[in-house]
Amino acid sequence: MEEALIHYTNVKIHQQELCVLNDVNLKLHKGEFVYLIGKVGAGKTSLLKTIYGELDIKDGDARVLGYDLSHIKRKKIPQLRRKLGIVFQDFQLLIDRTVYDNLEFVLRATGWKNKLQIKSRIEEVLLQVDMENKGYKMPNELSGGEQQRIVIARAILNSPEIILADEPTGNLDVETGRAIVELLHSICRLGSAIIMTTHNIRLLEEFPGIVYRCDGHQITDVTHEFAEK
């Protein structure tokens, strides 16, 4: 078995002084699709925040893409984040720039310089998320589902090994949400591993994956509960 992209062993996750998750044991391998489910406040988002270095890990062993998160230096965190794609529920697009400029901004910020290569990569990801004709639009001219597709395009620009999607369907109607999860699964099939938090249990039945439940400060693999349905 190849080395896990994420490997957490007996990790404790704190939000301020409060321990939100205890004894987290979690592995993520290339091409896997993992769901995190659980009530609001159960620790799903806090777990994602530890993966991209927003929350510190004080206890346990946590490794993400070869970085030891228990001892990572602040200055190394931007390097780690460049290898991750992050999709938030509230889009976080730059509203004063076109879709194309939003994507170009990310590529330039991560070291791309060649104009033709930038243009080519942006066209490629827009095509991948079915938004190839929307590059000239401003974010406020797009529907919620279209904005989320652009956020996913932004997340995959640098071909990340891991994509973290925090409630990516939370603000969308059922049909649009389904289409977004379908898109994430198609990206997963191309090789990115994906961790997605969700409240929508129906999606898990339609688009199967590995399922962890956060509950009572614990995280448990409950994949079998959904496989039986």
pLDDT tens digit string along 144-165?
A: 999 999 999 999 999 999 999 9
Concatenate the DSSP letters of all residues of 48-74 into one string: HHHHTTSS---EEEEEETTEETTS--G
**What integer pLDDT is reported at residue 110 of this predicted model?**
87
Is the distance from CB of 142 to CB of 154 less than 8 angstroms?
no
211/23 Cα distance (integer angstroms): 17
| Positive/negative CA dihedral, 137, 143, 147, 149 | negative
- Rounded to the nearest 5 degrees, what angle is found at the Cα of 21, between the Cα atoms of 223 and 43? 75
The 3-state DSSP class for residue 17 equals coil
Domain count, the chain: 1
**What integer pLDDT is reported at residue 229 of this predicted model?**
53
Question: Does a structural domain hold residue 145?
Answer: yes
Please report the beta strands in 65-161, taking only residues with DSSP state E, as ranges in sequence order.
67-68, 84-87
Amino acid at residue number 211: V
pLDDT in tens, 95-107: 999 999 999 999 9
Question: Does a structural domain hold residue 121?
Answer: yes
* 125: pLDDT strictly greater than 90: yes
pLDDT in tens, 190-228: 989 999 999 888 899 899 999 999 999 999 999 998 876
The DSSP letter of residue 147 is H
pLDDT in tens, 29-41: 999 999 999 998 8
Range of the domain at 110: 94-159
Question: Would you tell me the crossing angle of helices 144-156 and 99-109 to the nearest 10 degrees?
Answer: 20
Question: Does a structural domain hold residue 134?
Answer: yes
Question: Does a structural domain hold residue 187?
Answer: no
Question: Does a structural domain hold residue 108?
Answer: yes
Question: Does a structural domain hold residue 175?
Answer: no
pLDDT in tens, 134-143: 999 999 999 9
Question: Does a structural domain hold residue 52?
Answer: no
Question: Does a structural domain hold residue 69?
Answer: no
